[in-house]
Amino acid sequence: MNPEVFEGACQCGEVTYRVTGHSMALFACHCADCQKQSSSAFGMALWVKQPQLTLLSGTPREWIRHTPSGRQTRCQFCPTCGTRLFHIPVGQDDLLSIKPGTLNDTAWLQPVAHIWTVRAQPWMHLDESVLHYPGNPDGFSAMAEAWAAQVR
């Protein structure tokens, strides 16, 4: 399986990047933290395994977020415009979550799942043909399988 290449930038263009790796899944998260982080009804995550991140310009800043499950996530963002770019689970450097709205090409983005649907805004109409989880899923294998079937 050949690695994929993802390129993107923050909103102001100060931080540009290239990520090479293997996409695992694309999903929308409706938890309160993602709503705050995205300033919207949900956040999205494109998980890439074995990522190789190359900064083409700029240097993101970082802060550590403590999740409700007790884990920690490194959150990287542009120091000028504040655009969130990546999430990296602490202790799992083989996994990168790209905030896919920062990709140069977003036309192909189609989530295979919605998580934390219990927190979804009441006016949201979720695609019934994809996976739904009221909170965090017990595992991500079903999402990975759905993603693999979609990207073939």
Residue 87 belongs to domain with CATH number: 3.90.1590.10
Residue span of the structural domain in which 144 resides: 4-151
pLDDT score for 151: 76
Percent of the residues in the chain that have a pLDDT greater than 90, as a whole number: 81
Q: Tens digits of per-residue pLDDT, 50-59?
A: 999 999 999 9
Report helix, strand or coil for 127.
coil
DSSP assignment of 11-47, as one string? SSSS-EEEEEEEEEEEEEE-SHHHHHHHTSS-EEEEE
The total number of structural domains in the chain stands at 1
The CA-atom distances, in angstroms, between 74 and each of 8, 37, 56, 79, 98 are: 19, 13, 20, 15, 12
Q: Say if residue 70's pLDDT is above 70.
A: yes
Residues 6+ apart with CB under 8 A from 116: 29, 30, 31, 34, 133, 134, 135, 136
Q: Tens digits of per-residue pLDDT, 120-136?
A: 999 999 999 999 999 98
Q: What share of the chain is helix, strand, coil (3-state, %, to 5)?
A: 15, 40, 45
**Mean pLDDT within 12-19:** 98
Average predicted confidence (pLDDT) for the chain: 93
Q: Tens digits of per-residue pLDDT, 90-146?
A: 998 899 999 999 999 999 999 999 999 999 999 999 999 999 999 989 889 999 999
pLDDT score for 142: 94
